[in-house]
Structures are given as C-alpha cells and as structure tokens.
Structure 1
C-alpha cells in the first residue's frame, strides 16, 4: 500500500463536507507512520511531513479527493542573510518560551537540534499559537528568508501581547491586595469597636444603605457623589458627629425623586370638567391650563410653565392650583413664602453649618415623592430681604425655564432638574414683586367676583361644603337666593368669597345647634330676621352712594389688594391766607395729584367764574376720609380736581356718579389700572355712572356684560369733560364762560363758604 498522503487545510474549519473550492491549493506531502483505530470508530493517524506541494487539478473519484500534485521547490538564498535570520529567530523563540510555560525544555532542545533553515522555521511555527490563516500563509511562502522574517515578526508580537497581559494582571493583583487590606483593616476596626461595647448595628445599617444606593436610580453626578460619601462613611466611627452628617446627606440624596414621575392624564374634556366642577368663572386661568395640556399632548416634553395668579384674597388662587394638579393627575405641593426673608430657605444651608438642611424647594420634593408635581408658591409678594440675603433673588433660578434644569441647592451641592415641575405662584399685588422675578412668570390677573358670581359660588360650592363640614343634611337648612344676596350685601365687603364662606359657616353652626336641640328632622328656612339673629346687625350698609348731591364731595374709585372700593374726597374752602392742607394719610403720589389738580383749577379759574387770586384769600383743605388707612396711587387726580372746583364754584357733584383717572397740569386725563375691580366696587355701591379715561376703553372688554348694563360708563379725555359730566348744573347754566371786557371777576363769598357745611362721608 502507498503510505503517502497529501495534507491541506480547509478554508472553513467547521465545514463537515467540503467541496473542491473549500480546500487550500498548497499543502504538504506526508508519509504515514502509524494508524490507530479508536473504540468510537475514529482513526488516529501519525504522519511525517516531507515537502510542500501544490494541487494542479482534482482527479475523478467519488469516494475521496484524488489530486494531481506539483512539488514546490525553494528558491536559492543568501547564506549570510539566512544565518542572521536564523540566529534572531532562535533568540526570539527562546525569549518567547520564558513567557509561555507551555514551551518546555524538550521543545527548546528539539528546535536547537535543527540546523537546516527551512525546517527550523517550520518547526518553530508549529509550536506558536498562530491563527490558521497565518500558518497557511507561512506554508505558502517558498522564500526561506521571507518566511523567517515573517515568523520573527509574529513571535515579537506575541511577546508584546504576553508582556501587556502580565502588566494588567499585576495591576489587578495590586488593586485586589489593596482592597483586601482595606477590608481587613475595616473588619479589625469593627472588631475593636465591638470589644469596646459599641453596637454592631452600624454594620447592618451600612449594608442596608449600600443596597439602597445600588437600587436607587440617580444622575451620574449624584451617583458618583453618593458613592464617594458612602466610602468615607464606612471608614468613620458610628459615634462621631461627622458620620451623622454624612449619613443624613446620603439619606437626603436617596430620598429625592430624581427620576420618579407621575404619568400625566391628558384629556382636555375631562380636565375642563374638573376645573369647572371645582371653580366658578376664572375663564382665563382655565383656558391657559387647557392650552398647556394640549401642547403636552403634541410634544413629548415641554418645559414646565411658570404661572402667576394675581388677585385679591379669597378669589380661589390656591384652590385653583390644587384643581390643576387633579386635572393633570399630578401630585400637589404648596409652599407659603409669606414672611420668608432668608435666602437659605430657598437654596438651603451649606453642610459646614450645624443643623444644615436643604432649602424648602428640595424638602417639598422629598415630601411629594415625584419629580413633576404641580408646585404652588403661595404669597410670593410677601417675601422680604434682610442681612441673610434676598430670597426673591434665589427664586430667579428656580422660576427660570432656561436655568432650572440645573438648580443647585447649597446643601446637596448637586444639580437638580426642576424643569418638569409645573410652578404656580400666587400674589395679591404685582408692584411688590421684583421686576426680574416678575419677568420670569406669566401673569394671569384674577379679578374680584360680582354679586351674581358670589351667589352662584355660594349655591354650587360653599353651602354644600359648610353643611357637610357642620354635619347638616340638605333638608336641615334652606338658603334662598334672596337670603344669600342679603348676606353678600350686608355682611361681606370683599372681592373674594372667604368672608362669605365664614358667614355661611356661622349660620350652619347655629342651625346645627338647633338640630341637636330639637332633633334631626329640624328644618330652618332662613329669612332676613333669622339671619340678623344668627349673624348680628348688618356689618355694612349696602349702597354707599350719597343720598343727595353735595358741594365739595366727589366719589373716586380705588384699587386695593382686597379688590376695588369707592373713595370719597372732600374739599372745603375757608377764608385765610392761601394755605393748602391735604389730609387722610395720603402717599406721595396722591399728594402730587392734589397739587396738580389745584394748579389745573387755577389755570381755569377765570373761565370757571372764580376770582384769579382765590388762592391768596382762601385756605383750601382736601381730605380723604378713613385717615387711619394709608392711601396712594395715580388714579385720584380728576376726583380731586372735581371736588376742588365744586367747593370753589358752589356747584354740587352728582351723588350717583364716580370717577377714576389721573390728571396732568393741562387737564389731560391719563389711563389707570385695575378698572374691573373699580367698576365692580361702583356696582356694589349702587352708583349709576362711572367716568373713566378714554385710553381705558380696551379694558371694558374684561367687565361682565351684565355689569355694564346696570352701570353707564362714560369715556373722558380732558378734565373739562369730567367737570361738565360730574357737576350738577342747573338747567341752562354754563360751567365755562368767556369773561366780558370791563367786567370784573366773580368775587368769592368767603362768609357764605364758611357758613356752609360739607357733610361728612
């Protein structure tokens, strides 16, 4: 039998049934030395390679591959170059054997016994952990010098890889030794503490804390910080004060809702139903919330808006914020800023201080346990500043959508994302909010309620709420519409409904006493007499308009943080030396308005029939009643001018008319603010006509149509128009007239003025 066999590698080693194209063309002709059949049916063959050959073509054979070969001969070599490469190759292989323990001394001896260059390079290649493709390339390289050079490069590469692996193993071993040493020392420390009587609960506490750190999803910055702090905590004594500080700090970080959120319920119709169910009127805020929800439905993430509800007390600013949270399916948190004057209340204290803790913003988020609540900052206009900083300045970052995604609390010293919080602020007045803070908020004015609004709110909300709060059934008490209107008119004087709710609660308590005394079937139908018995004599006179026209008394309209009110201004002129007195605890603006009004009257003295030198012979006293209440604002100018003209010309002012507007020296009427509240105040006082600046015509759209049907609003541009409309002129009487030549001025009758009384208001 022929013991020759041609050995060639497959291009793909895993292929069980290779074809002709799957076999390399260059291989080795080998002599079969031994054949060993194993029990499992496989055959183990021992061969010895003789020379390289190349497949010329495949011969037909269905049982095995039968090929026609061509022996490959090596080209002649440069002896010196081959000898140099041989030495380098031996040296490199010996160096490699020092790093690879699998290369034994027997292998080195076998390699050393080979002198023929071609066989040497083939022998060394057999012991190298090279890929099949690399070994096949060496087999196909007939040039011995080139083959040796390539193998030398592979050996050097393997040596570098092994050296790199050894360096990595050394570093890992060193780190492991350091970790084991630290662990050993920590265990020793705990053992010593235990021997000294200290509790070992600290260890279990640390284990629990470590589990919490692993479970808690944190930002990259917070995660790095908390792990560093925990590492320090493990090295501290549990009885040390610093350990308590570090433990509290870690607790704060882990208790914050870094990524916990509630899922928004975006249903416009359902949100509108909830808002209408909880609040009557307030169309502007409701519309703004529905707009936000609509945008949220279209955009995956929008920056939380910053709304500021500005209006009198009791109009539902805070409760509206609570309803917004319910309509959006978000958690609600409220923070009152009234009286806050320390910047640390917002930004927190630094951890170096004793008793340090985060600011109220971070504390509130811990309570609410979600990162996207509706956050109500109440009474933002009641903050003040002192030597501890300005909290309103600290709020600038909180309420700026361009900055609050990285709010930095002094205690945490980490960036916290506030951008998904829906901030709502409330205030009674805007002027006390700093301009930079006001600029960051969307202002929504909530004006006072009309009588009809109050009655609807009482019927739909307040009566039911107070009956339930006082244990009454709807059958126990009946509030007719006329009785609710009676309570509104005679026992409350406000823009909101807070006092109205108190009065209804007082009535319900009295009825509850009757029910307990007479039985649960007791029914009380309220009348005016019963209301007076329960609530006492009426607190306010409904309709504060004067019963008749008065000289020197003009009715102005004022805006306060409690809503609108009417403001009577009286003027009296008595003989004197031209002294001007202004009383009523007026602010600088109103005092300047009085001076401007007087200057206007002097400029019109001749046309009004007043002696040009009246200011030299008369003392003029302008007074605003309720002197204990401070008053200020730029809207009483035309009222003062009308009062002064009436006192000097002896022409009464219409009692059914009120006015508002600022005056210039030339008599021009300037626009004012708070028109809706002022018109509502005039409506409550049963006034029939209101004079307002022409430039405020655009603001009339905000006033309910039913109010404008009952009050006649006249627009004025000049104080001359105001005087024509406000003074009660007799039929055919002219207010302004040209002075005829030769006719002296009208002499003011000081005695008559002194004898007349101006009725007190």
Structure 2
C-alpha cells in the first residue's frame, strides 16, 4: 500500500440546458427593445454562457434578463383623443368640482393638441431616386414630407417652414450634410437630423454624432429601419410636447375625491391606472430599487408597477405624497425630485435595472392633504389643483344619486327596493356627519342600509320602503352633532371663530376671563406660536386704544387675562383668529355679551387693520352647518368670496370689515 491514494473524481457541475440560452437569445431578438437594452441583454447572456449554472449568480442573471425582456420599453396604449368623451366621463363619475374638472380638461386638451398636430419631415438628397424612395417610405407615418436636392435648398425651406426631423445625405453640392447639421444645431436646435450616406466610415459617424446628429445610417439604406428611426424621433417630440407641463397635484381635505378623479382621468384617456400610496414610506430603495449585489435585490415600486401594467404610458397616481417619511435609510422625497421632473425622468435610473428607463410618457398625478409638509423644491415641480369641500346642496345630491344607490346595491337590493327622501338625507347631513368630504356621509348611509337589511330579514320591514327622517333617528340613535352656534346663549367674553385645518373648516369658541393679578396674559388650549402672538397683539391693541372702546385704561395693571380655546388635546395654530380673540377681549372688558351665532375670521395689525385670510369656502360652509347666522370676513377677501358659487355666497349672511371698529356693533350686544 503506497503513501498516496487515488482521490475520487469530483462530480461534474450540472450543465445548463443547451436550449435555455438559445431561448433567451431568440427572445432578445424578437422582443421590441431599444438598441442599448438589447446590447446589454446580449452581454448578460454571454456572461451566463461562461458561468457555472450551480452558482447563485447564475439564477440572478436569468431573472435579470427575463425582467429586462418583460418591461414595456416601447409598448404604449392608444390614447382616446376625444375631449367630449373626457368631459362626459368626468361628469358621469363626479358631481360638482367644476374648477377641478375645468383644469383637468385644460391639461388633457394640451395633450390632445400635441398628439393631433402633424409633424413635418424634410428629406435632402442629390439623387432623385434615393430621395423619392426615402420620401415615400417616411410618408407612411402620416406626416408631411418635404424634399430638397441639396443643403442650400434645405436651408431655404427651414427659413420658411417648421421642420421636426431632417433626413439628409452626407455628400452633396453647395452645402453638404455636415454643413447642414452645423447650421441646424445653431439656428433650429429643436429639429432632429438623421444622416444617411454611402461613404460610411467610423470617423464620419463619430464626427456626425459629435456635432449633434440624432442617428447615422449607412447606404444601401434599409427603408424599414429609416422609417422606424423617424417614427421614434417624432414620437419622442410629440411626447415631449404633451408632458411639458407641470405635474398635477390634487390637494385638499380627505374624502373630496382626489384619488377617484385621478382614476377618472385614466378612464377618460383610456389609459391604465396605477395607484401607489407613499404614506409612511421611509426607504428610498422602495422607489429606486436595490443594487443587484445585495441578497434579495429587487426593482423599485415605480419600475415594478410599470412591469405589472405592461405599458409605458399609464396614469400613475402617487397618493398621500405629503405623508412621506425620512430616516437613516434615505429620503424618498429626493427620489421624487427626479421622478416628477419631465426634464429628468427621461433617464430615470433604477438601481436594480441599472439602465435608464424613460418615464416621460407616464402621466404622474399626486395627492396631498397639507402641501406645506412637502419640501420646497418638490412643490415647485408640481401645479397645485385645490379640492375644496362640498356644499350641503352638493352633498345632498351626491348622497341621493350616487352614494345611496351604491350602498343599497352593496346590501343586495336595488334602488327601487330602498330609497331615501331629501329630508332623510338632510337629517343625516345636519345631525350625523361633519367634515369637508363624503366619507362620513357614505359611512352613515351604509349603516342605515345594513340595519334596514337586518330588519327586512327579521320580517320587521318589507320592501319597497322609503327612508324618512324618523327612520334615521330610530336606526342611528341620538344625533351626534347639533347647531352649536345657533343654540348657544350670548356670554360676555366668549366669541365664535372660523378656522381651517387639513380636514376642512371648523368653528371654535374663544373664552376669556379676567381676575385679580399682576398683569399677566395666560393662554391655554394647546396653542401654537402664531395664535399666542395674535392674542398678545390683540391685548396690546386694546391697551393702546382703551378709551375708544370705553375700557378703563389701567385695566391690565392689577388684572390677569386668561384666553382659552377648548379641546386642549388638539394642537391649534394659524394666522386667522386674531380678530376673534380681540372681539372676545372687548366683550370681556366692556361687559357686552357677544352674539354666539356671529362668527369671525381674520388677522389684524396693531393699528387695527384687518388682513385677508385663506380657506374662506370651507369656513363659510362650516359656519352654515353650525347654525351661524352672520360671518364677519376681511374686506380684502370680498372679491374672492364674490367669485364663488351662489350656494356658497348665500350659505350665511356676510359682513366685510376693514378694521376692528366695524365689527364691534355686529358682534356685541348692548351692555345689560
């Protein structure tokens, strides 16, 4: 027995199936891909052929190539370019929102105009047969085709006519192709130029591309390739025109239809619809993907959703963009700077894909409740379309014609079996729902329908039946809300204010009290810095104008003033409660009770001038729901208020004031 023993031969590594690589090559050759993507896919296949199939990277490479082939690089859906159809779809699916619909139709109209505009192509060649053949082939693209026999004729045409694309020979008399290219780059930079020549050399191609040529094609020319090249250039120009406008951002209170109208835009254009919620997203890799060097790497949500829908021009809604997060894993909002910029997203780079993907065909729409939460550069890339709250009349009609039939069908009945009267809907609106949107109304209608369904199954009720106000009370119990302002008694030192939040308009009661002390201003109610400054401004104004209002001038020396806004668990801040606080202090110090059915909104200066505020529509409608009789508004908001719908203008009586003195007699009762 020798010192060395023969070792057992190692088993051979499992060989890849010989047809697997060929299938991938056939797929790369048959699938419509950009040339750079096709070249990268072929290189990846060559790497796989040299790789041991047993290693982990082999399976990752197969998955990567299949992902490349599945992406819709050049696959688009056909848009419906009929504006009347878009208007009909928006009206059928949404009632009201006239300003929003108008802006959406303007946006769609600009896209439609760009798609319907005929492009112009100029063919330049000194050979008649070659020129005619190229013009005939390009003419099949439904574009206007002009011809010229040399570069000088082409320049004369360009001086008179707008041309989108030029197909030119390289060697010509007078002005050759490179000379034409140099002039076009300087004088008509938006015009793309394709050079075709029988003198195709590497130096010529490099020189032409360096000077700005879009493509370089050798002769003998394949007319199909020429036509496809021109089509790609014209499609890119059309798409650049249609998406040149800013990204639309729907902003407003919850439940006002921001997400659903985005879906309606997709239906109007007959595009596929993608919704991606960004609420709570903290990792930027969720949008941009992971590099393939990581275990379990995958593409980002943007590319993954496009892969699922199968087209590169869907309507892509980025929902709740104002609730995006940020931590040590990166800032997703910074990725959105590239995604939402039409000038940058043509070359969006997903880390997993590692190839620029053109997002310029995607119609991005974003939604937000509070736009102030977004970074300034991101806000600058979007055009804000505000969604205001619905009026009571709009809510009533939407409830009767849209929400109630939908909830009735959800319980298994038809609208003929269960129907609501207008009085029953008003009872729901006044006693059981609040807010700017329709979610609470929809929820209460659903509750009524479910309780009725139970009674019908228990043989307590029979169909058909009509829901009356008495049925609402018996089914839902005691009303949740009341007319707070209309039922409250006037009290000295307590006034009613109108405020706005991300959930719409609200009324608040500002209470003040005076006690012996050392001249301190006490403020409670979880108030922000702006509200505290408003109270301090109101107190200083009254101290400097005490005689004008019949107040003892030294009232503050031996007294403490306490200003309180109830609901202390809720943070409150904003620049619109100054006039309300000032009126509460005047009422307190003069002993004149303040009318509780008169609500105020507006900020003011130390000189007593009332400044304009925002959110008037929401505030006035909140005043109407609370039973307010008169709303006191800044005079500088008059034009804005008069431009609103008649139902909003007539919701409550309006009084416009330019200084504090004008509001005193309207708010305060005589001293008892």
TM range (shorter): 0.7 to 0.9
Q: Is 2:222 the partner of 1:281? A: no
**Cα gap change, 1:519/1:659 in structure 2, threshold over 3 Å: closer, same or farther?**
closer
1:440-475 residue CA offsets vs partner (Å, 9 max, x unmatched)? 111000001111111111112111111111111223
Query: For 1:330, which of 271, 287, 292 is the aligned residue?
Result: 271
1:551-606 residue CA offsets vs partner (Å, 9 max, x unmatched)? 11111111111110011111111122212110000111111111111111111112
Q: Which runs of 5+ in 1 are unaligned?
A: 1-191, 732-761
Q: Is 2:467 the partner of 1:652? A: no
Q: Is 2:286 the partner of 1:314? A: no
* Map of 1:722 onto structure 2: 663
Q: Distance in 2 between matches of 1:483 and 1:211?
A: 67
| CA contact 2:392–2:429 (8 Å) conserved in 1 | yes
**Cα gap change, 1:511/1:205 in structure 2, threshold over 3 Å: closer, same or farther?**
farther
Q: Is 2:188 the partner of 1:247? A: no
**Cα gap change, 1:701/1:229 in structure 2, threshold over 3 Å: closer, same or farther?**
farther
* Map of 1:596 onto structure 2: 537
Q: Distance in 2 between matches of 1:701 and 1:719?
A: 22
1:36-57 residue CA offsets vs partner (Å, 9 max, x unmatched)? xxxxxxxxxxxxxxxxxxxxxx
Q: Is 2:411 the partner of 1:470? A: yes
**Structure 1 residue 360: deviation in Å?**
1.2
SS at match of 2:510: strand
| CA contact 2:250–2:387 (8 Å) conserved in 1 | yes
Q: Distance in 2 between matches of 1:519 and 1:645?
A: 58
Q: Is 2:161 the partner of 1:220? A: no
Query: For 2:48, which of 193, 212, 233 is the aligned residue?
Result: 233
- TM-score, scaled relative to structure 2: 0.77
Q: Is 2:497 the partner of 1:556? A: yes
Q: Distance in 1 between matches of 2:68 and 2:411?
A: 44
Q: Is 2:331 the partner of 1:390? A: yes
Q: Is 2:85 the partner of 1:270? A: yes
Q: Distance in 2 between matches of 1:719 and 1:209?
A: 79
* Map of 2:14 onto structure 1: 198
**Cα gap change, 1:534/1:385 in structure 2, threshold over 3 Å: closer, same or farther?**
same
**Structure 1 residue 425: deviation in Å?**
0.6
* Map of 2:72 onto structure 1: 257
- Describe how 1:677-696 pairs up with structure 2 within 5 A: 677-696=618-637
* Map of 1:46 onto structure 2: none
| CA contact 1:476–1:515 (8 Å) conserved in 2 | no
1:145-169 residue CA offsets vs partner (Å, 9 max, x unmatched)? xxxxxxxxxxxxxxxxxxxxxxxxx
| CA contact 1:314–1:497 (8 Å) conserved in 2 | yes
**Structure 1 residue 519: deviation in Å?**
10
1:429-448 residue CA offsets vs partner (Å, 9 max, x unmatched)? 11111111111111000001
Q: Could you tell which deviates more after superposition, 689-698 or 597-606?
A: 689-698
* Map of 2:469 onto structure 1: 528
| CA contact 2:95–2:394 (8 Å) conserved in 1 | yes
Q: Could you tell which deviates more after superposition, 205-214 or 478-487?
A: 205-214
| CA contact 2:320–2:369 (8 Å) conserved in 1 | yes
Q: Is 2:528 the partner of 1:712? A: no
Q: Distance in 2 between matches of 1:647 and 1:361?
A: 59
* Map of 2:561 onto structure 1: 620
1:333-380 residue CA offsets vs partner (Å, 9 max, x unmatched)? 000000011111222222222222121111111111111111111000
Q: Distance in 2 between matches of 1:237 and 1:520?
A: 74
Q: Is 2:585 the partner of 1:675? A: no
* Map of 1:502 onto structure 2: 443
| CA contact 2:338–2:348 (8 Å) conserved in 1 | yes
SS at match of 1:525: strand
| CA contact 1:342–1:391 (8 Å) conserved in 2 | yes
Rg larger in structure:
1
Q: Distance in 2 between matches of 1:388 and 1:500?
A: 40
**Structure 1 residue 239: deviation in Å?**
2.4
Q: Distance in 1 between matches of 2:566 and 2:486?
A: 15
1:214-267 residue CA offsets vs partner (Å, 9 max, x unmatched)? 122222332222221221122222221111222222222222111111101111
SS at match of 2:318: strand
**Cα gap change, 1:520/1:725 in structure 2, threshold over 3 Å: closer, same or farther?**
closer
* Map of 1:170 onto structure 2: none
Q: Which runs of 5+ in 2 are unaligned?
A: 1-8, 116-237
**Cα gap change, 1:711/1:520 in structure 2, threshold over 3 Å: closer, same or farther?**
closer
| CA contact 1:476–1:521 (8 Å) conserved in 2 | no
**Structure 1 residue 197: deviation in Å?**
7.5
Q: Is 2:379 the partner of 1:438? A: yes
* Map of 2:190 onto structure 1: none
| CA contact 1:303–1:401 (8 Å) conserved in 2 | no
SS at match of 1:214: helix
**Alignment length, in residue pairs?**
538
Q: Please give the root-mean-square deviation of Cα atoms over the aligned residues, in Å.
A: 2.0
* Map of 1:343 onto structure 2: 284
* Map of 2:149 onto structure 1: none
* Map of 1:75 onto structure 2: none
Query: For 1:662, which of 584, 603, 623 is the aligned residue?
Result: 603
Q: Distance in 2 between matches of 1:650 and 1:384?
A: 50
SS at match of 1:615: coil
**Cα gap change, 1:203/1:558 in structure 2, threshold over 3 Å: closer, same or farther?**
farther
**Cα gap change, 1:520/1:724 in structure 2, threshold over 3 Å: closer, same or farther?**
closer
| CA contact 1:638–1:722 (8 Å) conserved in 2 | no
Structure 1 residue ranges, 4+ long, deviating more than 6 angstroms after superposition: none
**Cα gap change, 1:519/1:664 in structure 2, threshold over 3 Å: closer, same or farther?**
closer
| CA contact 2:388–2:618 (8 Å) conserved in 1 | yes
Q: Distance in 1 between matches of 2:305 and 2:450?
A: 36
Query: For 1:697, which of 628, 631, 638 is the aligned residue?
Result: 638
Specify which structure has the bigger relative contact order, considering alpha-carbon pairs within 8 angstroms and separated by 6 or more residues: 2
SS at match of 2:661: helix
Q: Is 2:506 the partner of 1:565? A: yes
**Structure 1 residue 513: deviation in Å?**
2.0
**Structure 1 residue 702: deviation in Å?**
4.9
- TM-score, scaled relative to structure 1: 0.68
1:367-399 residue CA offsets vs partner (Å, 9 max, x unmatched)? 111111111110000012111111111101111
| CA contact 2:593–2:671 (8 Å) conserved in 1 | no
